[in-house]
Amino acid sequence: MERQALKRAREAFLSGRTRPLEFRLQQLTALQSMIKDRHTEIATALKQDINRSQYDTPLLELISLENEITLAIAKLAEWAAPRPVEKNLLTISDEVYIQPEPLGVVLIIGAWNYPWAVTLIPLVGAIAAGNAAIVKPSELSEYSSLLLRAMLPRYLDQDLYPVVTGGVTETQELLKQRFDHVFYTGSSTVGKLVMEAASRHLTPVTLELGGKSPCYIDKNCDLRVACRRITWGKFANCGQTCIAPDYILCEPSIQNRVVEGIRQTLLEFYGVDPKCSPDYSRIINQRHFNRVMSLMEGYTAVLGGQSDASQRYIAPTVLKDVSPHSRLMQEEIFGPLLPIVTVSDMDDAIRFISEREKPLALYIFCSDKKAIKRMLDETTSGGVTVNDVMIHYTLTSLPFGGVGQSGMGRYHGKHTFDQLSHQRACLVRSLGMESVNLARYPPQDRQRARRVRLALTSPMIDFSKRTYVWAVCVTIIAFGLFVTLLVILLIQ
């Protein structure tokens, strides 16, 4: 099935069907209709998969997905247009530009924690860029996967955008095939396997992975607000978010106040018993439930800690005075456990972050602009949000992606379009004005070499539309000033 789907997709792509912008817009509009028509079914599937609240599904997935589609439809003509570039004297009369072109057939391997957003947002970019795409949703979000397989062919071209379901075997079979790009969202462990498989065909990859995203709280910030925002970001989706705050760094003097602030917020968000709250999700399956529970071994929770294996329920849990060397601090938690690690000051926090793998996200809660700038200058991460968490993900104007072990490549908005396009360098010149080229031909002498050097080292000249508009405006203003001066002289 996997090979047949790829064969049909490649044949459909090679037919040129995806080249016209009108076709791409039609497919994007159809995808937009699917999300609007079937949002209730999507919310029901997520309720069955992870007990996601019907109100959280639009907030956490569907709104961002709809925004991506709306932006792509509005901007596609601009994104796909040739982009003029600067020229030198040697190419001043030539047409020089960058032309975005489709890569071919893209493999999109989605994740289970946000099975609609992280699977379909890359698809939006693939369609906009003129590619075909094989969509492989995660088998762990079973209900969402089956619903996507049933729905997508009803709205999109079935040959160009097939959905392949299944588990490890089906994914491995797909990775044996040659694609033009592989877009994977998931764990670093599997990401390495995806990259290894893709390397056999020299296929470029986008890896949206994860890691331990630190959250530093300065002692002088508004702790009440900081704790509310951190609590929301950490325990939304039961902590199963790649950019959720993985752990807190703070000074010992404020640790208990942070715990109390989170306790009060949890009570406000989920009530006395989060297990009964319709807004609190569940762990995806039993294996992940057991993994998260094992991370707590040896620690006594200061908040939460309760669990129910039959419901895959783990209460929002906070652990304090956690050792940097504990197992809890060696792997991404991806669950509702929030360890607090104490540091002596900001210097210590910067050292702590810099000594570890580069995270997918970094969160800083601080009111001192100089301290914020220092933290930004002396650390690195895929993305950063100051005085909030996860909000940078919502902006289509910002690239979303990791660095180092947290991933490679970027997407969202135009960044997805560019990631899944080939930026073709184009130079078009006439067969006339051959005399200009004589200096580069043999036999060479000092005078010819000097001319070529002058042409090649001349300053780059911008002939873009913006430059023309600027030049025309300056000319009109200059002419107006000249006329005004002439009139004044004549009057006198």
| CA count, 13 A, side-chain hemisphere, 41 | 13
DSSP string for 147-209 = HHHHHHHHHS-TTTS-B---SHHHHHHHHHS--SEEEEES-HHHHHHHHHHHHTTT--EEEE-
Q: How far apart are CA 245 and CA 339, in angstroms?
A: 10
Question: Is the bond preceding 102 in cis, omega lying within 30 degrees of 0?
Answer: no
Spatial CB neighbours of 198, under 8 Å, sequence gap ≥ 6: 175, 179, 182, 204, 205
Parallel, antiparallel, or unpaired for β 407-408 and 205-208? antiparallel
Residue type, 481: L
Q: How far apart are CA 397 and CA 232, in angstroms?
A: 23
User: Where do we find the tokens 């849990």?
Assistant: 317
CB 148 within 8 A of CB 135: yes
DSSP string for 75-128 = HHHHHHS-EE--B-GGGTTSEEEEEEEE-SEEEEE--SSSTTHHHHHHHHHHHH
CB 72 within 8 A of CB 125: yes
CB 448 within 8 A of CB 156: no
Spatial CB neighbours of 174, under 8 Å, sequence gap ≥ 6: 2, 6, 107, 109, 134, 136, 164
Ordered strands of the 83-84 beta sheet? 83-84, 95-102, 421-428
Task: Give the active site residues.
Answer: 208, 242
